[in-house]
Every structure is written in C-alpha cells, then in structure tokens.
Structure 1
Amino acid sequence: MRRFFFSGTQLRAIWGILLFLLIVVSLRFAQYFAFTRQLSPQALMGPFGMLAEEAIRAAIVIFATWVLARVEGRNWLVYGLGGSCRLKLLVSGAAMGFLTLSVLVAVLMLGGHATLVAEQLSVLQILYAGVTWLLAFLAVALFEELLLRGYLQYTLARGIGFWWAALVWSAVFTWMHMGNGGESTLGLLQTGWMALFFCLSLRVTGSLWWAIGFHALWDWAESFFYGTPNSGLRFSQRLLTETAHGDALWSGGSTGPEGSLFSLFVLVVPLLWLLLKWRRRA
C-alpha cells in the first residue's frame, strides 16, 4: 500500500494533485453554500464583498498547500512563497503590473479606442475603495497564483517537467476565465499568455511573489484606478470609468484592455526586463 501511494519518501505526484484538488474543491463548495450564495451579485461586485470572498478562497488554498506540505514532509513555503527577497519581489512586481497596464490604457487612449471619465466620489470614498480593492486583488492574486503555480505546478513538474506542467496549468487558468460574461477569444488568449508569463517569472525568480504583485496591481489598475472591464467584469466604486470606442479588436470592447490586440504585445517589455534582470543576477 505504501509503494502504491509513495515513491520512496515522496507522495506520488498523481495522488498529491488529487488530494490537493479534493481539499480545495470540497472547501470551495462549503464556502459557496455557507457564504457566497448569501450575498447578492451587487455585493460581490463591490470592494468589501469581493475582499471577503477572495480572502476565504486564499485561505482555502493556503490550507490545502499546508496539508500537502505536512504529508510530504516539506515546509509549505517551498511551493513558491519562500525566499529572502519576498517584499522586494512583491513591490517590484506590483510596480511593473501597474506600469504595464497604464501603458496599455495610454495606447488605447492615444489611438482613440478609449476615453476616461472621473467618478463622483469623495476623498474618503476614494481612499476606502482604493485600499479595499487593493486588499481584495492581493487576495485574488494569492489565490490564483498559489492554486495553479504553487503546489500543483511544483508537483506536476516533478513528473513531466516545468514547462509541460506550466502549459497544463495555464490552460486550466484560461478555462477558469471562460465563464466571465464579457470575455472574448482574444481576451482568453491574453489570459493564457499572461499565465505563461507568470510561470516564467516563477522560473527566473524562484518565487511567486513577483507574479503576485504584478497580478494584483494589474487587476487593481484595471478595476479601480482606470475603471475598465476586467476579463469581461466591471466592478463598482472605482476612481475612473473607461469607455471603449470602435472595433473591439483594438479597443477590447466589453472584455476590457485584455481583449485588445495591443494587449498581446504589452507584456513583451516586462518579459524582457525579467529575463535581463534575473539573468544578470544569475
């Protein structure tokens, strides 16, 4: 029985992946029936409801990671959350995420594909919404990065290699966004491309913290700062509101900037920056 489940001292990859998914899916069902379905759709699209929902999801995947680390006799931080430069990576990734999305929005505006209008919020409302959305999207980034590029990436890579595992989980990441109402084919291509980009950041930095920072501030800039649709979803209580103009192929339409053809090229600069910076460090 031990040889069936273990290879030497390690849990076989297939059983580790299945156990991890069983824990996450079971607790997500419990979360849905005990919490999520008690909230209105409007509450879930607002900053506090989103923060509560995503904080629970992040806690679930942290718990599943911790359980599997105990089973396999490892420190749970080894699955992408360890290292000595965590804060530096998080801040660096966050700055690059905000800058990259800002460049994309600027390109859309200069091309006449988007306009921005300020929302009528008080200073206190802006501060409350900005901070709450920031915490919410940090929770989103932690959940999604640790879910697919933490334990699952580490474990599947043991069996089939890093990049084959990255392709598998990037396809799953893309599939997870297919249910968004305003999503488009181009937006899904951008989602898959960004997932591979995050895998590259994991490969070259050895950590998920850079990707978590980039992911969180990209989403925050889209949803709160510029008020664009985020993978087809537009959230409430935002600083600005973006309106798309013209052909959705260029403007992104209801998908948001991620649905624009320009978005497939905007990650080239941070990708090259990652490769050059971390190659020099190596």
Structure 2
Amino acid sequence: MTNTQRVQSTPQTGILSRAWVRATALVVGFAIVMIASNSIASALENPLAALLVGPLLAVLVLWLYGFAVRRIERRTVTELAPRRATRLVLIGLAGGIVLSAATVGILALFGGYRITGWGSVSGALSVVGMMCAIAVAEEVLFRGVIFGLVQRRWGTWLALAVSAVLFGLVHLVNPGATVWGAIAIAVEAGMMLAAAYVATGSLWLSIGLHLGWNIATVAIFGTVTSGSESRGAIVTATTSGPDWLTGGAFGPEASVIAVIVCSAATAVLIRIARRRGRIVSRA
C-alpha cells in the first residue's frame, strides 16, 4: 500500500471510530441510567411517593434521552415527537392490559391461575408508579438506543434480533431466572416492543405496551413478573401447574401462553410496519 493510499483511508477510519465511540457512550450511559432509575423506583414502597417519583423519573429519563440524541447523534428526536404521544401511549396501555388479561385468562382456563382474595389498592398504586419509571427506562435503552443504533447501521431485521436477545439476557439477573425465561422474554416482549417501535416510528406505543403489561400482570392480577414477587395488587392470586404452563418462579412471562399471545401481536405489528414501508434494509 502506498503512502497516498494510507492517507486517503485515514479520514474514513476516523469517522468510523468516532461513530463507535458515540454509540458506546449512548449504550453504556443509558444502561447506567436504566439501572439507577429502576433501583430507585423499586425502592419506593409508599404509594404517594411512588406515584410522584416514578413518573418524575420517567420524565427525567426521556429528557436525558432527547438531550443525548441531539448532542451526540446530532439528529432530531422524531421517536419522541409529542404530536401522537398521548394517543399512542393510551393505545399501548390498553393493548398491554388486554395481552396480559388474555395470557392470565387462558392460564386460568387451564387451571394454572386462581384468585384467592382481595389485595391492596395502595400496594397496586405503588406498583403503577414504580412501573412508569421501569417501562420508560427500559424502552429508552433497548428500543430507543440499541434498536435505533443497530437499525440505522444494519437494518430492521438485525435490530429486532439484537435488541430482543439483549432484552432477554438482561433478565437473567432477575430472581428465579432461567435460560427459558430469558428466551421467552426475548421472544414475547423484546420482539413485540421492537415491532411496535418499527410500526409507528415512535417510542410511545412501546412505552404504553410495556407499562400496560406490567401494571396488569403485577398490580391487577397479582402475579410474579420476571421473577420479582408482586408487591401489591388489587387481588391476591396463586399459580399452579407445570412450569411450561405457568412460568414457574419467573411468572407468566415464562409461560408458553405468553409467548404465543405476544407473538401473535408481534406478527400483526410487523405486518403493519411492512405495509407502511417502515422495514429498513442494511445501510
């Protein structure tokens, strides 16, 4: 290779290096933000504090994301455009609750779920506040940062796979975690939430779906979610039966029922994304 050739290749190498540094900074930075936000939210037991601090944490994470994207990626944060925010979040909330209800309902039909009594409204409200922070922080990292970075470089299909796998892997640190539980989370939640992002080009639907599922699964139906015991719910309930049906210690999210129900939703969202021309090929 001549000296001229080496000189000509240097600028391109420098550009790629800077891009990788920016991407790494975003991923590591928002991984830390997610851990901190989730830890603070999980420590909130007073319902009033949870309902106040949880949404405030969510707003802070969204602001940090917008600020970081504008400063580091130097682009407009179209995925958080306020024009459709309320509508998409409400649709997502309703969708998440319906999907959770369908999962628990089918589980009950097979004898795997049974309501044993009334729970605590204040406890349920604490869960709602906590889940606001958790849903937003996780969507910002896994869909906003990771999915977005991979899709812009390598296309939608690889971004779906990478973000889903990482979302499943991070749940291996949860209580009662198993390899199957991580796979189930990756397929049912990681794929569905990313598909919601692709279909709308917005994080708002993904946030709403994530929040609706968590609120319904924990605060309404009183079941374990991702291995974490229910801290408060409108009803108390028990699950019984084989782990493949109930999800075992990991909760209904590790049930084949949840995988089937949420995969059906993913297929619908992918079809919508294709019809809208939102599937991006490799750059």
Q: 1:15 to 1:207 in 2, by over 3 A?
A: same
Count of aligned pairs: 266
The gaps in structure 1 that reach 5 residues or longer are: none
Structure 1: how far apart are the matches of 2:262 and 2:30?
31
How do residues 117-196 of structure 1 correspond to structure 2 at under 5 angstroms?
117-121=116-120, 126=121, 128-193=122-187, 194-196=189-191
Q: Following TM superposition, by how much is the alpha carbon of 1:119 offset from its aligned partner in structure 2, in angstroms?
A: 3.0
Structure 1: how far apart are the matches of 2:263 and 2:144?
24
Q: 1:204 to 1:60 in 2, by over 3 A?
A: closer
**Are 1:200 and 2:195 matched, yes or no?**
yes
RMSD between superposed Cα atoms in Å = 3.2
Q: Following TM superposition, by how much is the alpha carbon of 1:100 offset from its aligned partner in structure 2, in angstroms?
A: 0.8
| Aligned residue number for residue 252 of structure 2 | 257
Q: Secondary structure at the match of 1:84?
A: helix
Structure-2-length-normalised TM-score? 0.79
The answer (yes or no) to whether the contact 1:47–1:237 under 8 Å persists in 2 is no
Letter in 2 for 1:256: G
The answer (yes or no) to whether the contact 1:13–1:159 under 8 Å persists in 2 is no
Q: Which has the larger displacement, 108-117 or 53-62?
A: 53-62
| Aligned residue number for residue 206 of structure 2 | 211
Structure 2: how far apart are the matches of 1:248 and 1:27?
33
How do residues 1-282 of structure 1 correspond to structure 2 at under 5 angstroms?
6=15, 12-24=18-30, 31=36, 43=43, 52=53, 56=57, 59-60=60-61, 62-75=63-76, 77-78=77-78, 80-82=79-81, 84-121=83-120, 126=121, 128-193=122-187, 194-275=189-270
Q: Secondary structure at the match of 1:116?
A: strand
Structure 2: how far apart are the matches of 1:148 and 1:112?
34
The gaps in structure 2 that reach 5 residues or longer are: 1-9, 278-283
Structure 1: how far apart are the matches of 2:15 and 2:116?
58
Structure 2: how far apart are the matches of 1:278 and 1:21?
25
Q: Following TM superposition, by how much is the alpha carbon of 1:222 offset from its aligned partner in structure 2, in angstroms?
A: 1.0
The answer (yes or no) to whether the contact 2:54–2:129 under 8 Å persists in 1 is no
Letter in 1 for 2:20: I
Structure 2: how far apart are the matches of 1:259 and 1:129?
24
Q: Which has the higher helix share?
A: 2
Q: Secondary structure at the match of 1:97?
A: helix
